Structure 1
Amino acid sequence: MKKRKISYRIGSIAVIALFELGGICLIALANIPFKKPYIWWEAWGRDTASNAGTTILVAGIISLLIEISTLKNFFQDSMKNILNEDFPFSAYSEENLVNFKNLISSYLIGNTMSKEELKKDTIYSYEDQLLQLAKGKYYDYHRAEYTVYPDEEKEMIRINATIDYRIINKEGEKNEIRFKTKSYALKDTQDSFNLKKLTINRQEVETKNLVKIERIDKQEESNFYDYKVKIEKDLGKIKKNDVHIEYEYWVPMYDKLQNYKITLPCRNLVHRIRIKNNWELRGSAYTAFYYRQGEADAKYKIEQSLPDALSINFNGWIFPGAGYSVYYDQKNCEENEK
């Protein structure tokens, strides 16, 4: 339909151009000095040709101006339709599309700076990373339940955990489960972590030899933890995986701070923590970007109805690095004993 409209517009301009040419020819004919002209030509033919040519030429110019204005509006409307619906992305290279995007962003920011200055001198320099995150893997949801058991006689803290998440791999990239936590050295460090169950898309997976406990040697990785616990499992290139993990681990009594950071973009996260034996919890959450809190639909919040239980809720998209810290508090228990 659009091609027909464009052809019609171009065809009408061609007709106007022919009339213009005809008008010019009549004016030129009226000015030719014939040697032996007909009597009627001298009497009225010359003037008639000149007047007709002039009239056609002026009318053609006016029609052309009107048509050009109409054609301009048509192309503007067509461009709006293209931008809103059918922009031919495949006709342009990725470099051209990126340049076009940067020009639009510069205009919307209100700057007249070049694209190099835009990416160097403004926070827009992070836009490329955001684009890569949007194209990559992400968690559709991430749920966790932690139950903490302080054991003062053994001077240890036992933590039972259940994690459920859905990882979306829409580009079909290579994918795998990557679980990692750090701990202090224990008397039986190699037995301090027990992977009880792992299921992928409701299919139970053999857990033997999946857990690796390695000593931390590089100070850049950690300057106070001694070991790292890793679980790695290939997920292939499947576009959606539902993962369920159950595990138990021990930490020294003095390791009272639990930290968690999300490693992929996540649409929604809810982690619940409960502590036993009359201990209490304190928590704090954080994100990569600041959000005002206090509203009913706050982006993230900590809900705590009891001193020994809390829930960390991230409502909406969060970036890698967002997370929380939870402190196991024995202070109130000691005060009550006094």
Structure 2
Amino acid sequence: MTDSIPHLPSYDEPALDTSFATLSAEVAAETSNLSDPEAFRLNWLGRKQGRLKLISDAWLKSAPPEARKPLGIRFNQLKQQIEAALDAPAQAAPAKTVQQGIDITLPGTVRAPGIPHPLLKTMYEIETVFHHLGFSTSTGPQVESDFYNFEALNFPPNHPARDTQDTLVIARQQSRPSRDRLLMRTHTSPVQIRSMIASPPPLRIVIPGKVHRNDAADATHSPIFHQVEGLCVDTNITFSDLKGTLDHAMKALFGASVKTRFFPSFFPFTEPSADVQISCPFCGGSGCRKCKHSGWIELLGCGMVDPAVFASVDEQRKAQGFEPAYDPARISGFAFGMGVERIAMIQHGISDIGQFYSGDMRFLEQFA
């Protein structure tokens, strides 16, 4: 390369064309085999000693005003040629090929699979046991009317049994009739009433769901918990059918060696009623701390459906345009209910119900 400034004989158009053609030929010759683009750029476009800078200073200073425009046009064309020559090698360079594949030496991305919550898992297990016995699943709303939650289940207004339910009542219901006032359901039993009103017997349903009571939270109580209830209505249903059904269910849930026993109890919507105990699955009935050294654990309540409940159902069926179908002289049935948390605590040896609701992943991951 040469750093000399070409001589410009005059500023007319032919002289300008000849001089810039010479410069353009030099650029083309140098870029035909460009081994050092940075040296080429500094030689032509350097800010202080670049050839274009030196030529521009020498030629423009002495140029008459009428020649400055054609001179500037040709300088810009030459500069564009130089810049294009610098860009050409980068554009012509072949793109690097990215190899697609898997590097088996790298650690993989761990994606923990989702699992059912332990309470939902236990609820599904209970449902499955009764599905195998011919029961279907039925559900209902958590916000219920007083009629479905109490009155239709033989809890008349001001009945003392209502006090044990610790009911959470929806605000601003005083203007409504008492049976239409809304509350958070205290058990899943209202679904039994809704199902019987909607369908004549035979009826075999299992009812899982969330319920609400004004209970202070402690190791064994929570204001929100889950129940699974069951209802079987048909002709010639007896207490023996109830005992056989629950005995089979307890063995399916806790093992074939578990025994059941029934004690008289009271529930407004069943008569006779019973509490069900199972032999302690931890000590086999010999007595331990978990069963308070009695060998038995109380687990659920049950009984034969009270005829007053059937009468209330038929009354509603008539009001809704259905034929009466629950004559207690012709049909009978049994019902039962169990707490899902209590069963899950027994199954997994958990001592504090609050752990189910704590959101502690260290606890929940044990059930993966």
Is TM-score (shorter-chain normalized) higher than 0.5? no
- Which has a greater percent of strand? 1
TM band (smaller chain): under 0.3
- Which has a greater percent of helix? 2
- Given the two structures, how large is their TM-score scaled by the length of structure 2? 0.19
- Given the two structures, how large is their TM-score scaled by the length of structure 1? 0.20
Bigger Rg, structure 1 or 2: 2
